[in-house]
Amino acid sequence: MCGFFFDTKTRINYDTLELIASKLKHRGPDNTQIYTNKSANISTVFCRLAVQDLSSLANQPFFSECKRYMIAYNGEIYNVNKLRKKLPKDVNFKTNSDTEILLLNLIEFGIEETLNLIDGMFAFVYIDFEKQETYAARDMFGIKPLYFTKNNSGGYSFASEIKVLTINNKFDLNSSLIREFIICGLIDHTNETLFNQVFRVEPGTFLKIKNDNLETKKWLKVDEQDRKFASIDEYVEELESTLNKSFIDSLISDVPINLMLSSGIDSNLIRSLYSNNGINLKLHSVSWGNQVFSEIDKLGLSKETLDNVTLHDFTAMQTMDLILDSYKIYDEPYTSAFSAVWPKVFKDIKSSYGSVVIDGNGADELFLGYKKYLKRSFQNFSNLALDGNDVSLGFESYFINNPRNLYEANALDISSLKLPRSLRFFDYSSMSAGIEARPIFLTKSIFQKTRNIPIDWMLNGGYTKYPLRKILFDHGFGNSAFQEKQIIQYPQNTWMLKEWKKIIDRKISNLDNIMDHILDPKEKNAIRKAVNNFQNLVDLASLSIIWRVFITVLWFEKLLYENT
């Protein structure tokens, strides 16, 4: 894991490269390398978080033995042993790192074949100096971020975080996307960012740069589920075997590993399958308001398990302090106060328990875990999906077409709505503390096991993600495995109306300057109405809009502060 910056053509001075390194250091506190090559006209900054092969031999950027090839790579390859075995027998490995295995596979098999061999999370830039070709690629789900822009010298710059690209370039704001965020909470449905001319490398794609020309290509080829299962029980048995193998593969690490635990199906299934394999990870959970809002007490855990859980609790004002400070971490605004506490959670884990955290992120998208899927009706689907496109304010679903069926609805959540937003915060928050966070349901092997499976099996008996529930039931969780999905329990709305209200009132009273440049008259009137209702504590159905206005104001204040 790491943070990196890569640039072609700019000839950046060393002081600026050191400044870039300082802005990436939180992502990779274990080693920093600055590399420039005047003949190739490139600059690279790499900050390493050491997880596999902790020796200096595995530092990056990493070069082939002949020095023709270079890679800057952020991620974790879970099937690294499989990729190692594909290489010629006479290869002399210099390290035990997956970085070296990835580079050697790219050299041996080329970019597309190698990308389709990998099971894991990654973002990398790979250079062939002889052919003068540069490639940039991202994993199939977009777990690891990679941003790019065309720089002032006509070349391209890549970085793990947007803030790094703004050091050597000035960008106008993307007013259209800011508008979409305020109204609908959308940012991640496009490869654009809130800064014009800064883009995301899209999941499952790679970019090729040669002679300053950029070509984009989808690399992802997912084999459809070719086995025909005679019954749902046969499928569940096969799925459990796949989960077991994939979860074990996801443990590859030379540093301690932790697990985030909630009252939900996903993290408890991970814990159960690991436990059955004799693996007991350190557990962590989040609570609120001196444990008034806590999920752990719902689980009926044994004393031995409870003794292994560290509870990270946040009061209302502790949370607000983190919200007001969060601009230092997040480069774009967020839809939930929950995002503000995660950097502190990860910081505390890092200080006492190790550098890797496993999480159940993505299971709801892969296994149809949202209640909206049970309705089988997709009118106003975008409103259901976006957590706050408030129809009562007169807004329409401007930006996402309603899907025609459940397959399209699920694909939207994976590609445009829920999952990209969640993964962006997951990466920024964990890497702010130098933590490698692994959403281990999001592997190619598990994804393939969800393809061509009857929807009625996924939603069997009127339950979301039935196959996962059935496995958990069989592992001794009893009827609790079939309890209704619990929304993460935290008191955002309650605190907005009480402890946080004065702060929010003060901030959102300054919103006119923002709205004048972004919203049309109808939208401005609707927002003003929602703000007035909030300030006067009447008709409080639009708290999600109020939150997005508040966090956007904070984001604008950050930009003003940085430019003064």
Query: pLDDT > 70: what percent of the chain?
Result: 92
Candidates 288, 277, 283, 289; CA nearest to 302 is 283
In one-letter notation, the amino acid at residue 395 is F
> Using an 8 Å Cβ cutoff, are 210 and 128 in contact?
no
Maximum Cα–Cα distance for the chain, whole Å?
Answer: 74
Which residues is 258 bridged to in the sheet? 282, 357
DSSP 47-95: EE---S--SGGG-SSEE-TTSSEEEEEEEEETTHHHHHHHS-TT---S-
Give the H/E segment covering residue 439.
strand 436-439
Average pLDDT of span 104-113: 97
* pLDDT higher than threshold 70 for residue 487: no
Distance, in Å, from the CA atom of 526 to the CA atom of 390, rounded to the nearest integer, reads 10
Residue located via tokens 């050491």: 50
pLDDT at 564: 47
- Compute CA 49 distance to the chain's CA centroid, rounded to the nearest angstrom: 17
Candidates 243, 279, 240, 270; CA nearest to 443 is 243
* pLDDT higher than threshold 90 for residue 298: no
* pLDDT higher than threshold 80 for residue 544: yes
Phi (first) and psi of residue 247, to 5 degrees: -65, -40
Greater confidence, 397 or 289?
A: 289
pLDDT in tens, 120-179: 999 999 999 999 999 999 999 999 999 999 998 889 999 999 999 999 888 999 999 999
3-state secondary structure of 147: strand
Altogether, the residues listed in the chain come to a count of 564
Q: How wide is the angle at C-alpha 266 spanned by C-alphas 406 and 305, nearest 5°?
A: 165
Other C-beta atoms lying within 10 Å of the C-beta of residue 538: 8
pLDDT in tens, 228-280: 899 999 999 999 999 999 999 999 999 999 999 988 899 999 999 999 999 99
Give the H/E segment covering residue 349.
helix 338-353
> Using an 8 Å Cβ cutoff, are 173 and 228 in contact?
no
> Using an 8 Å Cβ cutoff, are 193 and 147 in contact?
yes
> Using an 8 Å Cβ cutoff, are 126 and 71 in contact?
yes
* pLDDT higher than threshold 60 for residue 399: no
For the chain, domain boundaries: 2-187+194-218, 237-371+401-482, 493-562
Candidates 176, 241, 550; CA nearest to 399 is 176
Phi (first) and psi of residue 295, to 5 degrees: -100, -20
Fold classification of 2-187+194-218 is Glutamine Phosphoribosylpyrophosphate, subunit 1, domain 1 (3.60.20)
* pTM for the model: 0.94
Fold classification of 237-371+401-482 is Rossmann fold (3.40.50)
